[in-house]
């Protein structure tokens, strides 16, 4: 079956998104991690824009603009400022066993494609396969949250999770109602601010942003 060029382009962007999540999973340096996050936001904004153009859904233009402002400019800028203030700009994280993490990641991708297979059958044209990719990115971001030990990279993983969900919403369903998207964007923004407050509180108390210090509360 011949797929229209524009849909091929959306599919290309989707696979790029997945690639970026894998790159984030293996990235040790906090600065590069934030830059990758900005790239992810850029891909997301572009794919939303393309979907908006191809389906003539006008409200998707707004959400593409919102993504561009929030995920590509504002949040990375805030994070850059934060790591400069916290003096963790050049921090390198010791990740154990990157190859194993990657293999688990590939397993997750296969799992999500299987899980999404019956749904992909239902959708016509544009959304085929995209739900699988979105679900895979969600699960990979979750994996990233599990493997990280620094507070800042956990937050980037959290934001990448949010990005993957946004991708699912715009590409697979042609955009949630605008009021919902605004609400979600507001929540993400407020969450980032609160995370920022937390970084300072955590460092003041533990003198480090390593969350391994924060594993005291346990049931004996």
Partner 1 sequence: MIELQLLALLAMPLTGGIVLAVFGARRWAAELNSVMSGCTFAASVLLSIAVIDSGPQTAFNEQFFIDQFNVFLVALTAFVAFTTSLFSRPYMRIEQHHGKLSTSMLHLYYSMYQLFTFTMLVALTTNNMGIIWVAMEAATLTTVLLVSLYRTPASLEAAWKYFILCGVGIALALFGTILLYFAAERVIGDGGTALLWTHLNEVKGSLEPTVLKLAFVFLLVGYGTKIGLVPLHSWLPDAHAEGPTPVSAVLSGLLLNVALCAVMRSKVLVDGSLGNHFAGNLMMGFGLLSVVVAALFLSRQKDIKRMFAYSSIEHMGLITFAFGMGGKVATFAALLHMSMHSLTKSAIFFAVGHAVQKSGTQQMDRIRGLMQVSPTVGWGLMLGTLAILGMPPFGVFASEFLIITTAMHEYPWTTPFLLISLGIAFAAIFGRVQPMVFGQANVKPLPHTPALMPVFIHLLLVLILGLYMPAYLANWYRQAAALLS
- Whole-angstrom distance, CA of residue 170 vs CA of residue 127: 10
Question: Does 120 interact with partner 1 (rule: CB under 8 A)?
Answer: no
The verdict on 194 binding partner 1 (CB under 8 A) reads yes
Q: How far apart are CA 200 and CA 88, in angstroms?
A: 12
7 contacts partner 1 (rule: CB under 8 A): no
d(CA 56, CA 73): 26
Minimal distance, residue 45 CB to partner 1, in Å: 18
* Residues facing residue 150 across a β-bridge: 210
Phi then psi for residue 219, to 5 deg, are -85, 130
Comparison of 38 and 184: residue with beta carbon closer to partner 1: 184
Burial of 153 (0-12, 13-18, 19+ CB in 10 A): buried
Tell me how far apart the alpha carbons of residues 10 and 126 are, in angstroms, rounded to a whole number.
8
Q: Restricting to residues 123-182, which ones interact with partner 1 according to CB under 8 A? A: 123, 131, 135, 138, 142, 145, 151, 154, 158, 161-162, 165, 168-169, 172-180
Site for partner 1 in 44-73 (CB under 8 A): 57
Minimum distance, C-beta of residue 42 to partner 1, in the bound complex (Å): 21
Stretch that binds partner 1, among 9-17, 68-76, 84-92, 211-219 (CB under 8 A): 211-219
Residue 96 burial (CB < 10 Å; 0-12/13-18/19+)? exposed
Q: How far is the CB of 208 from partner 1 (least distance, A)?
A: 12
Which among 34-42, 73-81, 97-105, 209-217 is the span making contact with partner 1, rule CB under 8 A?
A: 209-217
1 contacts partner 1 (rule: CB under 8 A)? no
Quick one: which of 9, 184, 196, 208 contacts partner 1 (CB under 8 A)? 184
Of all helices (H) and strands (E), which one includes residue 205? helix 178-206
DSSP H helices in 72-150: 75-86, 98-122, 130-147
The answer to whether 216 contacts partner 1 (rule: CB under 8 A) is: yes
Location of structure tokens 């990233």? 144
Binding site for partner 1 (CB under 8 A): 57, 115, 118-119, 122-123, 131, 135, 138, 142, 145, 151, 154, 158, 161-162, 165, 168-169, 172-180, 183-184, 186-187, 190-191, 194-195, 197-198, 201-202, 205-206, 211, 214-217, 219-220
């Amino acid at each position: 079956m011949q797929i229209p060029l524009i849909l091929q382009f959306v599919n290309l962007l989707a696979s790029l998104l997945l690639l970026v999540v894998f790159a984030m999973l293996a990235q040790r340096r906090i600065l590069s991690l934030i830059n990758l996050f900005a790239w992810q936001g850029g891909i997301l904004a572009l794919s939303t824009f393309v979907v908006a153009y191809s389906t003539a859904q006008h409200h998707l233009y707004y959400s593409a603009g919102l993504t561009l402002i929030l995920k590509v400019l504002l949040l990375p800028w805030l994070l850059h400022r934060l790591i400069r203030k916290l003096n963790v700009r050049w921090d390198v994280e010791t990740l154990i066993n990157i190859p194993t993490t990657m293999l688990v990641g590939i397993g997750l991708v296969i799992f999500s494609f299987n899980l999404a297979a019956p749904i992909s059958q239902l959708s016509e044209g544009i959304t085929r396969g995209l739900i699988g990719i979105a679900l895979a990115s969600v699960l990979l971001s979750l994996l990233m949250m599990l493997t990280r030990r620094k507070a800042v990279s956990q937050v980037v993983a959290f934001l990448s999770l949010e990005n993957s969900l946004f991708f699912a919403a715009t590409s697979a369903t042609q955009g949630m109602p605008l009021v919902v998207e605004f609400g979600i964007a507001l929540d993400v923004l407020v969450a980032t601010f609160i995370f920022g407050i937390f970084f300072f509180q955590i460092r003041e108390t533990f003198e480090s942003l390593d969350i391994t210090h924060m594993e005291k509360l346990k049931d004996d």
